[in-house]
């Protein structure tokens, strides 16, 4: 299975971001990727006040454009994430997956909103304008089952484990870690989730733009079920192509029985005396 991760520069014009992706796919068609991924909120600047401005209704123009790209190139397209609004006006950080025919195969709304205040570092509050999703997202392909989450979701070990329990051998993570959390935790987190769950983790970021209101770390990455880094970009716009064998998950799980050896009969929280 050939995975292509596209780390794009994010422009303020939505149309320019979509045209950029279209051109990259045209230029890279010779690589014949099976699955293509892009970064979190790749269609707009990563600023909370702008998410409602750029948000479209479900199956809007951006959805149709991305569906058309998947069908044209005959690829699985994990179209990063985009701001999406429902019929009641709630805005979500939503990741779509389209199959080789351009049909919607999955949709994930970010479950864990990025509300942080790091002393001397990043201050950010997605909940000012975004609502949280509540679904565990997996989808089937000819290569096996794949899970989907968005950026801050990866911090929560329960979510990755549930996706693997639902059969995921690969977990896709469109993301935009920042310059505080990225250097400290990006590689560590992807290696940890891959190792603990004996699956492939695919983290695709936006490129770094020092003049943006929110500066992404970049460093799109792919880690193996053994916890190895199989490929990683730097901070600049670029493409990472990695060939993997999803069956490697099964082989490693047999050799190192972390998942099957769990003591589910013992894992429980005991109430403590007050």
Catalytic residue IDs: 40, 110, 151
Instruction: Check: CB of residue 215 under 8 Å from CB of residue 178.
Output: yes
Backbone angles phi, psi at 241, to 5 degrees: -115, 125
SS3 98: strand
Q: Length of the chain in residues, anyone?
A: 274
| DSSP-assigned states of every residue in 181-230 | HHHHHHHHHHHHHHHHHTSEEEEEEPPP-TTSSS-B----EEE-TTS-EE
Report how far residue 67's alpha carbon sits from residue 99's, in angstroms, rounded to the nearest whole number.
8
Instruction: Check: CB of residue 207 under 8 Å from CB of residue 197.
Output: no
Instruction: Check: CB of residue 173 under 8 Å from CB of residue 201.
Output: yes
Q: How many Cβ atoms are within 10 Å of 248's Cβ, its own excluded?
A: 16
Tokens of 232: 């990683």
Report how far residue 35's alpha carbon sits from residue 4's, in angstroms, rounded to the nearest whole number.
6
């Amino acid at each position: 299975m050939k995975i292509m991760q596209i780390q794009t520069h994010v422009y303020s014009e939505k149309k320019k971001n979509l045209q950029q992706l279209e051109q990259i796919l045209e230029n890279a068609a010779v690589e014949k990727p099976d699955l293509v991924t892009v970064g979190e909120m790749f269609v707009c600047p990563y600023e909370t006040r702008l998410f409602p401005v750029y948000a479209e209704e479900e199956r809007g123009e951006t959805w149709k454009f991305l569906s058309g790209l998947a069908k044209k190139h005959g690829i699985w397209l994990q179209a990063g994430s985009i701001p999406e609004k429902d019929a009641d006006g709630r805005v979500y950080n939503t990741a779509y997956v389209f199959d080789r025919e351009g049909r919607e195969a999955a949709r994930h709304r970010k479950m864990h909103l990025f509300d942080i205040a790091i002393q001397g570092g990043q201050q950010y509050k997605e909940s000012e304008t975004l609502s949280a999703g509540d679904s565990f997202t997996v989808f089937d392909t000819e290569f096996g089952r794949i899970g989907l989450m968005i950026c801050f979701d990866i911090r929560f070990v329960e979510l990755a484990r549930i996706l693997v329990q639902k059969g995921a051998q690969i977990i896709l993570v469109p993301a935009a870690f920042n310059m505080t959390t990225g250097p400290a935790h990006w590689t560590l987190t992807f290696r940890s989730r891959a190792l603990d769950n004996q699956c492939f983790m695919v983290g695709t970021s936006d490129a770094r733009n020092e003049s943006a209101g929110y500066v992404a770390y970049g460093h799109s990455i792919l880690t193996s079920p053994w916890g190895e880094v199989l490929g990683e970009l730097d901070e600049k716009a670029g493409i990472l192509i990695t060939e993997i064998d999803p069956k490697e998950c099964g082989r490693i799980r047999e050799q190192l029985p972390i998942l099957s050896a769990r003591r589910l009969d013992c894992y429980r929280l005991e109430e403590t005396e007050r």
